[in-house]
């Protein structure tokens, strides 16, 4: 009798790469996928999705829902996602849960790591099998991995660079993969925004999904918001539209003068991938001008980090980052605790926040900064994802907070 084993195996660099002896009576199939870490560790498994290889930073995500939104989040560019929840793919895939706003760009995530094999979809919204969807988007996957052991390894040693490889014949040049993983420079100092940002301006009016109607349209906007696309997610735009905003999306390289020439009531700085200091080389000078304009400004994720750089603070790489839909954050302005969705590997160093900038939110997991506001201008930002896609909707109030600033600013200016 033979069967497919529950998991593959982890082999340290000093181990032999020949198959281990098997005395269990089971027939162990040849691995068709590998995750090769920069220190030489080889993790064997079984390939899903596209064939090929890709190099990136391995991180773990603790969400138990929303795998499709996670895999299409542009903030994951350059990363390989290890899901801690074991049942990934069981509800299939559909066209509505894609989160990247830039459909012209290829898939941003480098690969995914799964505990178990993908089962047949069991959900009324499923349009195709998850494996088929991965192939369509060119995403390489490995299943049969002890993701708890991998997660523990990342927690202990920090985020690690790796190569993920899938070959249906199980043919791999392991030394070459080890060298590729070891030579990859990592995300620190890397500007990945050009891979994910829109290349031209466009308008957005789709509102959030409501049962049973689905997505709606904002036909009577009260305000005009310009969203700078560093790696925008669709549900962010929907949340802005649902708050009565006409949204104009502009590329990440847009000059502040061109943004202000659109006469917006407010400016939104989006999420995105990579090192904020690297993207900040060209984005921060423009953000400074936007802040100085007096227009309300709201940033999240990468937008939050670059806003902090623009006002004089610094950012740093985190040990393992925050990736999941279950992160508690305290809002100092209200005293309330909200459960948030997070995806970031860099953080704002609170010790570098200058005079005139207050910390508004803090992570209750590790105490890291999760939000700032300027005392003398209608400008604020948060580290996490208030659009909640995927994740809880505790933080939707931030979009209303932004619109309230817009309305007060317009009233003060008599417009």
At 364, is the secondary structure helix, strand, or coil? coil
CA–centroid distance for 6 within its chain: 29
Instruction: Give residue for tokens 């009260």.
Output: 222
From the candidates 301, 323, 327, 361, give the one annotated as an active-site residue.
301
Q: How are beta strands 336-349 and 42-49 bridged, if at all? A: unpaired
Residue 184 exposed, middle or buried by CB count within 10 Å (0-12, 13-18, 19+)? middle
Residue 385 is a catalytic residue: yes
Nearest to 291 by CA among 260, 254, 332, 331: 260
Rounded Cα gap, residues 247 and 12, in angstroms: 51
Question: What is residue 187's DSSP assignment?
Answer: S
Per the rule left: phi > 0, alpha: psi between -120 and 50, beta: everything else, 89 is left
Spatial neighbors of 369 by CB under 8 A, at least 6 apart, are 347, 348, 349, 350, 353, 359, 361, 362, 363, 383
β pairing state of 314-331 and 357-363: antiparallel
Task: Return the number of other C-beta atoms located less than 10 Å from residue 270's C-beta.
Answer: 27
Cβ contact 387:238 at 8 Å:
yes
* 7 three-class SS: coil
- In the set 69, 99, 180, 387, the catalytic residue is 387
Residue 141 gets which letter from DSSP? E
Contact in structure between 100 and 137 (CB atoms under 8 Å): no
- Residue 396 bears catalytic tag: no
Tokens encoding 188: 């620190």
Alpha-carbon distance 78 to 345, whole Å? 11
User: What are the residues facing 80 on neighbouring strands?
Assistant: 58, 111
- H and E: helices and strands count for the chain: 10, 18
Is 301 marked active-site?
Answer: yes
Enumerate residues 6+ apart whose C-beta is below 8 A from 127.
Answer: 92, 93, 94, 95
Q: 3-state class of 215 per DSSP?
A: coil
Q: Which residues are catalytic?
A: 301, 385, 387
């Amino acid at each position: 009798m033979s069967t497919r084993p529950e998991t593959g195996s982890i082999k340290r660099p000093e181990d032999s790469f020949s198959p281990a002896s098997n005395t269990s009576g089971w027939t162990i199939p040849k691995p068709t996928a590998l995750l090769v870490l920069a220190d030489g560790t080889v993790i064997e498994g079984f390939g899903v999705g596209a064939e090929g290889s890709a190099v990136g930073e391995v991180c773990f995500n603790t969400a138990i829902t929303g795998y499709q939104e996670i895999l299409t989040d542009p903030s994951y560019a350059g990363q390989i996602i290890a899901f801690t929840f074991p049942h990934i793919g069981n509800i299939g895939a559909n066209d509505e849960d894609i989160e990247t706003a830039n459909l012209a760009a290829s898939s941003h995530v480098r690969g995914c790591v799964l505990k178990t094999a993908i089962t047949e979809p069991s959900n009324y919204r499923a349009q195709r099998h998850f494996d088929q969807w991965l192939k369509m988007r060119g995403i390489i996957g490995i299943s049969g991995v002890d993701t708890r052991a991998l997660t523990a390894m990342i927690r202990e040693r920090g985020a690690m660079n790796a190569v993920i490889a899938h070959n249906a014949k199980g043919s791999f040049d392991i030394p070459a993969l080890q060298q590729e993983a070891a030579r990859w420079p990592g995300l620190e100092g890397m500007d990945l925004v050009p891979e994910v940002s829109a290349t031209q301006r466009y308008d957005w009016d789709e509102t959030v999904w409501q049962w049973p109607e689905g997505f709606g349209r904002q036909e009577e906007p009260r305000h005009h918001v310009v969203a700078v696309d560093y790696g925008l997610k669709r549900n962010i735009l929907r949340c802005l539209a649902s708050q009565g905003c006409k949204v104009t999306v502009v590329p990440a390289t847009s000059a502040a003068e061109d943004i202000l020439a659109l006469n917006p009531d407010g400016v939104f700085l989006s999420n995105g991938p990579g090192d904020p200091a690297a993207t900040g080389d060209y984005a921060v000078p423009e953000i400074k001008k936007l802040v100085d304009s007096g227009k309300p400004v709201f940033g999240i994720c990468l937008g939050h980090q670059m806003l902090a750089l623009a006002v004089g603070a610094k950012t740093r790489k985190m040990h393992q980052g925050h990736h999941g839909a279950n992160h508690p954050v305290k809002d100092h302005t209200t005293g309330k605790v909200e459960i948030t969705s997070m995806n970031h590997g860099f953080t704002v160093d609170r010790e570098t926040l200058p005079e005139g900038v207050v910390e508004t939110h803090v992570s209750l997991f590790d105490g890291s900064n999760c939000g700032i506001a300027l005392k003398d201008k209608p400008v604020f930002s948060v580290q996490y994802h208030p659009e909640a896609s995927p994740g809880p909707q505790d933080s939707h109030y931030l979009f209303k907070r932004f619109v309230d600033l817009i309305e007060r600013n317009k009233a003060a200016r008599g417009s």
